[in-house]
Structure 1
Amino acid sequence: MRNILLTIEYDGTNYFGWQRQPNKKTIQGVIEEAIKNITGEKVNLVGSGRTDAGVHALAQKANFKTASKIPVEKFPFALNSVLPNDISIKDAIEVSLEFSARYSAKQKTYKYLIYNHRTRPAILRNYAYYFPYDLDIVSMQRSCEYFIGEYDFSSFCSSGSETSSKVRKIFDCYLTFENECIAIYITANGFLYNMARIIAGTILDVGAGRIKPTDIPLIIESKDRTRAGKTLPPWGLYLVDVIY
């Protein structure tokens, strides 16, 4: 038996998220079917995290066990030949049988794109959040710094989270610009349910003048979801990288 780790890029627009669901098209379900097509095996594909419907990934990581003799370097080509064009296997390596893409992960990086122009986008409509009003970029950049550290992020977690502890460590949080958008990058040892989208919504509220950067520590300390910004839509969010 072998354990294969895949690096996966996908456009989440037409999927009901990562996790396999009955009678719904999901990233996990489509890739598992592709693996079955080329190996003849029914596998359990373990992803590093469960991205929501509409969320994209540049480098999702996922592993599966197989008895197949296909050379590991051939897996990307074989799988891509049967996968739809909005999912691409970028790389495949063999890892130890004990390795788990989910439980072995040390850090994850997400980014959120905000399209801050007067007129709405056409090409980027499914890939960035459209916000046509003036933003204080300097204050947004300052607010990012207050998220760095280890805290209870209950204020930045939607109801329905499956984890008992809300403590997470953010290693980096910063704002930059790319592809005509404001890009908010967040690297942490793990993310609560909708945490990245709520942090992005809170930083956006700072830019809009609804929250001050110095309010961020008080919002974190309060552990009160109602004090943080709204949960921004899924289509602006990307899983950028996973570190092991």
Structure 2
Amino acid sequence: MRNLCMKVSYDGSRYCGFQTQPKGSTVQDCLEKAIMLLTGEELKILASGRTDAGVHAYGQVFNFLTSSKIPIERWCIALNTRLPEDIIVRDAVEVPLAFHSRHSAKRKTYRYTINANQFPDVFQRKMQYHHSGKLNVPAMAEGLKYLIGTFDFSSFASRHSTKPSHVRTVFDAHIVVDDSMCRPNSRDQGLIHMYITGSGFLQHMVRIIMGTLLEIGEGKKLPKEMPQILEMMDRSKAGPTAVSKGLVLWNVDYGELFENY
């Protein structure tokens, strides 16, 4: 038996999330179907984590056990010919049998993108949240810094969260602005990318953080309120849940165990 680990990118616009659901098509369903068509094996893949409906991934990681003897270098092309065009397997490696995509992960990075130009980008509209109003980006960046560290993130977790603990560690969080598509002499503010890296994330956590940062950018909250919101451990104190389409699972890091992946 072999343990194969793969990295997959997908546009989540038309899927009901990554993980198999009772109703609706998911990314996991498509991947498992492609593996079955290739090897004849009906199996369940293990992912680094689930993504919600409409959320995308550049670097989602999954692994599975197989008895197939197909050389590792042929897997990506073989699976991609059996997958829809909005799902692409980018890398494949053979890993130790003890490797588990979720349990072995050291940290994850998400990116959320706001298009703060006056008009949306027709070509990227499924990957960005469009906000045409003026945003105070420095204030948003200041508020974000208060979340770096180990805290109880109950205020930023879905009310439906079933996790026994909401304590998580955020290692890094920052904002990058790309103004390359701004029109001269306009009120365009460019693309605002928020990157956040942590030990793990609660359901809707990144989107609630983004919704809170948007309120700061709009002047509805102050950056210095972030520590208070954390301390209250009350979902109602944070901002709304930002729409899913701006969120991308950017990268999963496995440290020395999987250093070159």
TM category (shorter chain) comes to over 0.9
State the secondary structure of the residue aligned to 1:196.
helix
How big is the shift at 1:203?
1.1
Write out aligned runs for 1:15-30 (5 A). 15-30=15-30
State the secondary structure of the residue aligned to 1:5.
strand
> What is the alpha-carbon distance in structure 2 between the residues aligned to residue 32 and residue 210 of structure 1?
45
> What is the alpha-carbon distance in structure 1 between the residues aligned to residue 72 and residue 204 of structure 2?
34
State the secondary structure of the residue aligned to 2:134.
coil
> What is the alpha-carbon distance in structure 2 between the residues aligned to residue 35 and residue 22 of structure 1?
20
For structure 2, the residue ranges without an aligned partner over 5 or more in a row are: 182-189, 255-261
> What is the alpha-carbon distance in structure 1 between the residues aligned to residue 140 and residue 107 of structure 2?
23
TM-score, normalised to structure 2's length?
A: 0.91
> What is the alpha-carbon distance in structure 1 between the residues aligned to residue 37 and residue 22 of structure 2?
19
On the 8 A contact 2:107/2:199 being kept in 1, the answer is: yes
1:217 alignment partner in structure 2: 227
* CA-to-aligned-CA distance 1:119-138 (integer Å, 9 cap, x gap): 23322221111111111111
1:197 alignment partner in structure 2: 207
1:185 aligns with 2:199: no
How big is the shift at 1:72?
1.0
Write out aligned runs for 1:100-139 (5 A). 100-139=100-139
* CA-to-aligned-CA distance 1:39-70 (integer Å, 9 cap, x gap): 11011111111100110000000001100000
State which of 197, 204, 208 in structure 1 corresponds to 2:218: 208
For structure 1, the residue ranges without an aligned partner over 5 or more in a row are: none
2:155 alignment partner in structure 1: 155
Write out aligned runs for 1:1-244 (5 A). 1-178=1-178, 180-244=190-254
TM-score, normalised to structure 1's length?
A: 0.98
On the 8 A contact 2:3/2:64 being kept in 1, the answer is: yes
> What is the alpha-carbon distance in structure 2 between the residues aligned to residue 112 and residue 145 of structure 1?
16
Identity %: 45
> What is the alpha-carbon distance in structure 1 between the residues aligned to residue 121 and residue 162 of structure 2?
35
State the secondary structure of the residue aligned to 1:51.
coil
> What is the alpha-carbon distance in structure 1 between the residues aligned to residue 244 and residue 161 of structure 2?
17
State the secondary structure of the residue aligned to 2:112.
strand
- Which one-letter code corresponds to 1:199 in the other structure? I
Bigger shift: 128-137 or 115-124? Answer: 115-124
How big is the shift at 1:23?
4.0
How big is the shift at 1:162?
2.5
How big is the shift at 1:205?
1.0
> What is the alpha-carbon distance in structure 1 between the residues aligned to residue 143 and residue 38 of structure 2?
48
On the 8 A contact 2:112/2:210 being kept in 1, the answer is: yes
